[in-house]
Amino acid sequence: MTVKEILDTAKDKMSKSVSVYEKEMQALRAGRANPQVLDRITVDYYGTPTPINQVCGISSPEARLLVLSPWDAKLLKPVEKAIQASDLGINPVDDGKVIRLVFPAPNEERRKELVKVARKGGEDAKVAVRSIRRDAIEQIKKLKKASEITEDDQHEAEDKAQKLTDNAIKEVDAVTAAKEKEIMEI
């Protein structure tokens, strides 16, 4: 494996770690109705666990409201039960044709709790990125030990790995800051 391959692999893994963190933050409920909060919920559709967004049309007519329109009328009750069984903490309102989810505005204490959750997720993402950097540097050191690269090449590659890490951590910090701002908005 060459230095370039090691660095490319590290960059790819770091960007995946950042995108996983971004997805987690999209699913974090901050008082706004966001269809991504339903991504993890599955419905029993003729014996097959199916993601809710594949059996319902999801719209957000207001900032704090999601409307789910099941494509099959028989799915109204199973969708409602799946939402109640999830960790959303919202009671669905079924009017016979659609399901409404009303998202209450979180109080100050809940907002601070959500900010802590976002920061913890950010720290976890940073730890993952640093772990990827450590693995890349270990591989680079193995190349040096096997005399496949020079000491200067080793230092240059380690510097590049550090720059990749710094960029990924900046992205994580930006996502965290944006989510904190969104959470603290009233």
Do 168 and 116 share a domain, yes or no?
Answer: yes
Do 136 and 171 share a domain, yes or no?
Answer: yes
Please report which confidence band the pLDDT of residue 18 belongs to, taking 50, 70 and 90 as the band edges. Answer: very high
| CATH number reported for the structural domain that contains residue 71 in this entry | 3.30.1360.40
Residues 77, 143: Cα–Cα separation, whole Å: 60
* Residue at a domain's end among 84, 102, 120: 102
Q: Which of 28, 47, 48 is nearest to 36 (CA)?
A: 28
Domain range holding 159? 3-27+107-184
Number of domains, the chain: 2
* Residue at a domain's end among 71, 102, 133: 102
* Residue at a domain's end among 73, 102, 131: 102
Does residue 84 contact residue 92 with C-beta atoms inside 8 Å? yes
Do 51 and 97 share a domain, yes or no?
Answer: yes
Do 113 and 133 share a domain, yes or no?
Answer: yes
Taking only the tens place, the pLDDT of each residue in 86-116 is 877 778 888 888 889 887 777 788 788 888 9
Taking only the tens place, the pLDDT of each residue in 166-184 is 999 999 999 999 888 888 8
Do 96 and 161 share a domain, yes or no?
Answer: no
Residues 132, 172: Cα–Cα separation, whole Å: 15
Do 97 and 111 share a domain, yes or no?
Answer: no
Do 90 and 112 share a domain, yes or no?
Answer: no
Report the range of poorest mean pLDDT among 30-34, 49-53, 132-136: 30-34
Please report which confidence band the pLDDT of residue 27 belongs to, taking 50, 70 and 90 as the band edges. Answer: confident
Please report which confidence band the pLDDT of residue 186 belongs to, taking 50, 70 and 90 as the band edges. Answer: low
